[in-house]
Structure 1
């Protein structure tokens, strides 16, 4: 199967599952009797273990040829882990399975992104277009699951995820052409330790950690907050879907309108959007303002992520792509996000919407952090 089709289907399956998990997993936990503080701790623990999972798994990938088999086995083990949630709702069981599932399943994100960036270099893949296929699947999932929660019950959150994981397992075993391989003359993949010695990479990781982890309150507690404000699961699903529609628009516009924007410009735009969005969500639950806040997802996540891809594909040597992708997922989308998720869980009952205002403060340092340009990579997105 051609690289574009394979990755479009794989991202579609992965983000369908993520579209059920990210907006609604807190509601599934609430539905089985877990308290807000325990939800925050479970979500935070899950995000924290991603750090170890991303680093340990990605460190074992010695070259591009390992990406496809690792993707396939991670898909299988992810399915088995989430099936485990059917067997018990005891807190100790939930903690254990949360750690296991989040050690395995989220690692598919950096592995899939590494496959995509490899195809950018190897087959001139249009990253923006293939990535927006995942965003479309996220919309379908968040809309569908929101309606199921309203009309059938929160137990369908897990059902939808398991169905999506079955599809992802089947799709991942389809052949991929061209197969990922190291480019002739390319040096062996750099180690994580060697990659972290680069001051530019460290500055990049700090910037992306601040931008992405500022979404902690949104990812963990927006559904609970909006439900408490009187919105149904269907409306919450539509709001999440709207955010991803805006994200799709940003990815689709990238190649045509944003190619002259460098990583630094995209990061600053992302930071401005974060401040505006979290101030909005922290001060009102009026539907019109929530719609505007969700449209800003195109900036807070979309531009920030495009900035990260721009940095990795234009400003890194090829041997640092996989380790930097791993560190980006482990730190910005794992460890730092986990810490803020736990903080939000402990503060939500007292601050409620005020936790979004704290997220606005998180991104302020981005305006003052800069990194020096480095050698342009072999390919650009």
Structure 2
């Protein structure tokens, strides 16, 4: 895979932008819980803070994505989202009351959650413009996540957890500056978006089954995402070691992205999704049994055969199932299921489970839900295969 650094400036600016916005993801998903713990909030309170953003983002993801499809602009909307994030983080840096932070973290998520699916949409459309796979752009998100996970961990280790919001301001500002250099992407299809057509597409049984399985898998993934830092803290890890654990997971998915870019089209999506779900179950089983922070870093490397395979395959599935003029809306709905609805459930019940039942029970529940997703994806594949065989025989 070749990365020309001068011939396609719009491609390179999008890579840089993708690199930086995953720094915001690192902060929001992994370091914000530590910051709230530093303020004295309990596990249940942190769970509520983690849940309220996904709740409101169930509406905002669709709102911003449908607005993007209707007005055929992604860049301008992303700039608005980043400005909104920066304002909310500035306010949050001065707050310490749980109830006030509850309000402002909700407003922050109003602007944060739609950013990644819109970036994925722009990456897909930009890659299509050059006849490439979107992975050549998305891989820079993994590199950015790895870099910021380690960098922020060491900065917070030196400056203290209280500096979290100031670091976030800097990362968002940098992302905004890069966003001004992006080339706006428009759908290749000239057809206007019609809600009635979108509704017909989303009512497909296979698509509904897919979203149900995604939801089952997303809950344990988001549970781990929200409480991995607190798990490591319980095991005696430093902020630097927490950064290394996130670095391990992010770096491990990069070679998988390259392999799937080269060979992924040779495999059907549903069997790959079933395999990733089974590996998630194994990963969380190991997490329930470990008592050493160093072992967590090794387990985090299973991110490659879990999220790495799942994410690329799921986006490929959505791209195949949903027409081009509905692309942002389709990925927005995927984000609602994967991030918003699952984040709400994992925050509300994951926080209480982690606090009251303990880490082992917390991860045993994650194992069960992951295995349920495995059964769902596999059974859908078997149904499709038997249906195809039956059609062929009848023909």
Matched, 1:329 2:329: no
Cα distance, 1:357 vs structure 2: 1.3
Of structures 1 and 2, the larger Rg is shown by 2
In structure 1, the residue matched to 2:91 is 84
In structure 2, the residue matched to 1:286 is 292
- Please point out which of 238, 244, 253 is paired with 2:259: 253
Alignment of 1:51-66 (within 5 A): 51-63=58-70, 65-66=72-73
Cα distance, 1:365 vs structure 2: 2.5
Query: More deviation in 305-314 or 252-261?
Result: 252-261
Cα distance in 1, alignment partners of residues 46 and 230 from structure 2: 11
- Contact kept, 8 Å, 2:201 with 2:322, in 1: the verdict is no
Cα distance in 2, alignment partners of residues 105 and 359 from structure 1: 25
Cα distance, 1:329 vs structure 2: 0.2
- Please point out which of 206, 218, 234 is paired with 1:212: 218
Cα distance, 1:215 vs structure 2: 1.1
Matched, 1:173 2:180: yes
Structure 1: state its 5+ residue gaps: 374-381
Cα distance in 2, alignment partners of residues 118 and 278 from structure 1: 35
Cα distance, 1:71 vs structure 2: 1.3
Cα distance, 1:92 vs structure 2: 1.9
Cα distance, 1:112 vs structure 2: 0.8
- Contact kept, 8 Å, 1:270 with 1:304, in 2: the verdict is yes
Query: More deviation in 193-202 or 147-156?
Result: 193-202
Deviations 1:328-362, CA, capped at 9 Å, x for gaps: 00112111232122111111122221211111111
- Please point out which of 1, 4, 10 is paired with 2:17: 10
Cα distance in 1, alignment partners of residues 271 and 103 from structure 2: 41
In structure 2, the residue matched to 1:266 is 272
- Please point out which of 91, 110, 113 is paired with 1:103: 110
- Please point out which of 186, 200, 205 is paired with 1:199: 205
Cα distance, 1:175 vs structure 2: 4.2
TM score, norm. by length of structure 2: 0.88
Cα distance in 1, alignment partners of residues 187 and 325 from structure 2: 9
In structure 2, the residue matched to 1:28 is 35
Deviations 1:163-186, CA, capped at 9 Å, x for gaps: 10000111101141xx422325x4
Cα distance in 1, alignment partners of residues 211 and 9 from structure 2: 32
In structure 1, the residue matched to 2:193 is 189
Cα distance, 1:149 vs structure 2: 2.6
- Please point out which of 311, 314, 323 is paired with 1:305: 311
- Contact kept, 8 Å, 1:64 with 1:180, in 2: the verdict is no
- Contact kept, 8 Å, 2:128 with 2:134, in 1: the verdict is no
Cα distance in 1, alignment partners of residues 90 and 72 from structure 2: 30
What secondary structure sits across from 2:34 in the alignment? Answer: helix
Cα distance in 2, alignment partners of residues 9 and 120 from structure 1: 15
In structure 2, the residue matched to 1:377 is none
In structure 1, the residue matched to 2:159 is 152
Deviations 1:186-219, CA, capped at 9 Å, x for gaps: 4323535344222222122122222222212211
In structure 1, the residue matched to 2:5 is none
What secondary structure sits across from 2:181 in the alignment? Answer: coil
Alignment of 1:347-366 (within 5 A): 347-354=353-360, 355-366=362-373
Query: More deviation in 163-172 or 189-198?
Result: 189-198
- Please point out which of 225, 228, 234 is paired with 2:231: 225
CA RMSD across the alignment:
2.0
Change (3 A) 1:13 1:190: farther
Q: Which has the higher helix share?
A: 2
Q: How many residues are treated as equivalent by the alignment?
A: 371
Matched, 1:116 2:123: yes
Query: More deviation in 14-23 or 324-333?
Result: 14-23
In structure 2, the residue matched to 1:235 is 241
In structure 1, the residue matched to 2:135 is 128
